Structure 1
């Protein structure tokens, strides 16, 4: 949890997972080619609305074995195109934080660990009370819990991952209405 009070005018952060949250998760769980890059329905419009309502956006993603199991070169092309498409529609990310470790390594930088965002914990310009996490797995919800914020878990077409019920339009409507953020 944070230790400082937010400054006047502090902005909430919407932490977002990448694969399965911003873009679809392919069958092999690796977006390493342009052919595998597909956006989730309504994600661009939703993020644009939330950003324009005052939320700052930060991507926090686990990319198991990036640089080992698949190359940075294959990852960067689709990743940069994704960011360029968001930017072309007025959606920008304050930070993009990528953990490349495997779950078996038990690193604190890997979600649900919070070490990737520890540098933000005492930032008085962040309104932690209105900040939230959006992801497609329970580890994303656990990340939010570990950070002391609520979380939304998206519904997924993947039966192994489908642990949530939220859609991007529902999340956007919920946040813009000022409703309490779910505590997973």
Structure 2
């Protein structure tokens, strides 16, 4: 099974320091929906792993979160793509849970649900904690220079705390293109 695990806010949709709290505030990043569709068309299953501490903080409720995801699914369907599942942590930062990234709980749940070892599975996000959670279960780390990581554009190098071997992409569409091209290159016999 070809699986890619994506962060949500700052990777698929516009992030906000004030939290994304409603469907009206959920706005896809340019090219993100097309990126997911492109992955799907190349045979990839896409899953989202996202911290949603706005629930634990009382900023929005499950109905609002479900409505945001319904909007995401509808826009994705119109772009020819789909997300197989959304795994989210509803806890506030001080709750001490095992599912809030950088803890690996969401990734462990994904591995259990799909019955696969996540070693080598690409995971992409816009923050260090997204990658730390994935690397803890053996995922291959990818960062997109959108959302929180936009501040690294033009630096040429990531801060040292990022996992060794982190791949860097301008955005989710660049990540999808890279993944598909790498797979095609691996299938092409050497001349």
TM bucket normalised to smaller? 0.7 to 0.9
CA distance, structure 1, for counterparts of residue 101 and residue 56 of structure 2: 18
Partner in structure 2 of residue 78 of structure 1: 68
How far 1:120 sits from its partner (Å)?
Answer: 4.3
Partner in structure 2 of residue 32 of structure 1: 21
RMSD: 2.7
Structure 2 unaligned blocks of 5 or more: 153-157, 159-167, 184-191
- CA change 1:81–1:144 in 2 (3 A) is same
Matched-pair contact (CA < 8 Å) for 1:13–1:56: yes
| Range that drifts further, 131-140 or 63-72 | 63-72
Partner in structure 2 of residue 170 of structure 1: 174
Partner in structure 2 of residue 139 of structure 1: 129
Choose between structure 1 and 2: higher helix proportion.
2
Higher normalized contact order (CA 8 Å, seq sep 6+, divided by chain length):
1
How far 1:77 sits from its partner (Å)?
Answer: 2.3
Cα deviation, 1:9-68, whole Å, max 9, x if unaligned, reads xx121111111111000241x211233121111111111111121211111100114054
Partner in structure 2 of residue 148 of structure 1: 138
Residue 53, structure 1, aligned to residue 57, structure 2: no
How many residues are paired up?
168
Out of 111, 119, 126, the position equivalent to 1:121 is 111
Matched-pair contact (CA < 8 Å) for 1:53–1:176: yes
| Range that drifts further, 121-130 or 50-59 | 121-130
CA distance, structure 1, for counterparts of residue 113 and residue 95 of structure 2: 29
Structure 1 unaligned blocks of 5 or more: 1-10, 180-184
CA distance, structure 2, for counterparts of residue 127 and residue 89 of structure 1: 30
Matched-pair contact (CA < 8 Å) for 1:22–1:40: yes
